Structure 1
Amino acid sequence: MEKTNRNIQGPRSKVAIIGTGSVGTTLAYTLMLREVAGEILLIGRNQAKAEGEALDLRHAQAFLPSPARVRAGVLEDAVDSDVVVACFSAPQPATLTDRNAMVRKNAELMREILPPLAKIAPDCKLVIVTNPVDPMTWLAIQLTGFPPERVFGTGTVVDSIRLRELLSADLRIHPDDLRAYILGEHGD
């Protein structure tokens, strides 16, 4: 049997994920499995955690045909990123019942992180996952000066996926065979 050379470069896009909690790390894992990025950069306030997550992800690529370059870094490493995903958040109290209560603290983080990011990666597409998604997306447009068509909030995408999953379970139909959308503000 002839041995084939596999492309170990993968796609050429660079995706920087700011925030290495559950959402950011799961996103990195998904991008890696789907082979949609040539480079995945994890940026977190806890550098040791970001390094550990990057190492785990690199190890998990052993059987992928096109492994991505996965590494941890700092904001300055986001230079030339094609896509930057904001998954960061201020610590949430266990008693949090309304995601809108996170506006003030997460807006402070946005003001700290996004203006320098806009200088480092001025041509990137920016995806906002940070809650509350809708106000944070609007704030991101203001803070970066990016045109609105390059700043995306994920709020109702998540809500729509949750609705499809619920309908799928109730109707016993695969979620991919359903089309259902939630429009409006992401929330409870």
Structure 2
Amino acid sequence: MANRRVALVGCGMVGMSYAYALLNSDLCNELILIDINEDKAKGEAMDLNHGLCFSSSHMKIRAGSFEDCAYADLVVITASAGSRKPGETRFDQLNKNVKIFKSFISKIVASGFNGIFLVASNPVDVMTRVTYELSGFPANRVIGSGTTLDTARLRYLIGDYFQADPHSVHGYVIGEHGDSEFVPFSQLNLSTKNVEEFFNDERFANDYKREDIEDIIEKVKNSGAEVIKLKGATYYGIGMSLVRITKAIFGDENSVITVSSRLNGEYGMRDVYLGLPAYVNRNGVRKILPLNLTEEEIEKLRNSYNILKESYDGINM
């Protein structure tokens, strides 16, 4: 295996869910854990190493520092200021995360790191753009987890509705990873059959209804909040999403994944990072896959774009 080194910044539940899933995937041969709490990083490295003999992986796992990013091919960022506190606005939380990113992005760049940034810290689209701006890296080498997990939730729930393997569901959640995200019906298929065809086919009139799919889409949008309500946080799903993106990068797959990437004129929009299906390979994002969206869907995408642009313009950079 060629050198595939990952530096993970942030050893909270999301970061360690990623690390644990990575340990069981045999995707890299070195994982460096970096956290403001150095003892936490050391303890997590020990704990993972103690399970190494039960894994198919032969990766080396250790705690490290930002200087170690010089040797990394991929830096995955899950660090954040934590959940919003009572009385705090969304912008308060966002500015806290920006302050945290300012404290270490420059150190990663100064180390000589020349790989790919993969960001999962929320609000992920804005924080990915912050990483891009602070790092000075080419846009293709700064990626956010985007709506990857939202899309996985969609495919799971649609598959359950049609009693089909979710791998046979083809569709995307696009836009902001947040309240303005949406599912373009024009792109939502079971195998090669668009879901709209089920609603207009009298053979399925009593089985499948558009309002059921709309309810599922609303459930997808609220899934994260529901998990947080039930167990306090979400981390397994996003951890596995990050592993999927890592696999596409290290495998030079050109897989189409709904990562957060920088718009460069697509749909008449620029500069903002948001979730759209894009080809992901060893160089990061090769290009965004153009979709034949309806005018209504483009307007929904523009709404997400405007929200994310306003969020970025309102932070203290």
Please identify, of 88-97 and 49-58, the stretch whose mean Cα deviation from structure 2 is larger: 88-97
TM (norm. structure 1) is 0.86
Q: Pick the aligned partner of 1:43 from 34, 43, 60.
A: 34
Please identify, of 161-170 and 33-42, the stretch whose mean Cα deviation from structure 2 is larger: 161-170
* Matching residue of 1:115: 106
Q: Pick the aligned partner of 2:51 from 57, 60, 63.
A: 60
Structure 1 residues 97 and 161, CA gap change in structure 2 (3 angstroms): farther
* Matching residue of 1:102: 93
How much does 1:91 deviate? Answer: 2.8
Is the CA contact 2:34–2:63 (under 8 Å) kept in the aligned structure 1? yes
Q: How does 1:1-188 map to 2 (within 5 A)?
A: 12-93=3-84, 95=86, 101-188=92-179
Q: What letter is aligned with 1:139?
A: V
How much does 1:97 deviate? Answer: 9.6
Structure 1 residues 79 and 98, CA gap change in structure 2 (3 angstroms): same
Is the CA contact 1:35–1:67 (under 8 Å) kept in the aligned structure 2? yes
How much does 1:122 deviate? Answer: 3.0
- CA displacement, residues 93-126 of structure 1 (integer Å, 9 cap, x when unaligned): 4559986652100000111110111121431100
Unaligned runs of 5+ in 2: 180-317
Structure 2 distance, partners of 1:176, 1:121, is 39
| SS of corresponding position for 2:137 | coil
- CA displacement, residues 26-71 of structure 1 (integer Å, 9 cap, x when unaligned): 1111111110110001111111111111111111221233321011
Structure 1 residues 169 and 55, CA gap change in structure 2 (3 angstroms): farther
Structure 2 distance, partners of 1:49, 1:96, is 29
Q: What letter is aligned with 2:127?
A: M
Task: Give RMSD over aligned pairs.
Answer: 2.0
Equivalent residues, number: 179
How much does 1:136 deviate? Answer: 0.8
Structure 2 distance, partners of 1:99, 1:172, is 38
* Matching residue of 1:3: none
Is the CA contact 1:83–1:125 (under 8 Å) kept in the aligned structure 2? yes
Structure 1 residues 170 and 79, CA gap change in structure 2 (3 angstroms): same
Structure 2 distance, partners of 1:17, 1:29, is 12
Structure 1 residues 169 and 51, CA gap change in structure 2 (3 angstroms): farther
Structure 1 distance, partners of 2:91, 2:162, is 33
| SS of corresponding position for 1:62 | helix
Q: What letter is aligned with 1:186?
A: H
| SS of corresponding position for 1:155 | coil
Is the CA contact 1:79–1:120 (under 8 Å) kept in the aligned structure 2? yes
Structure 2 distance, partners of 1:47, 1:168, is 43
| SS of corresponding position for 1:149 | helix
Q: What letter is aligned with 2:81?
A: A
Q: What letter is aligned with 1:19?
A: G
Please identify, of 117-126 and 38-47, the stretch whose mean Cα deviation from structure 2 is larger: 117-126
TM (norm. structure 2) is 0.53
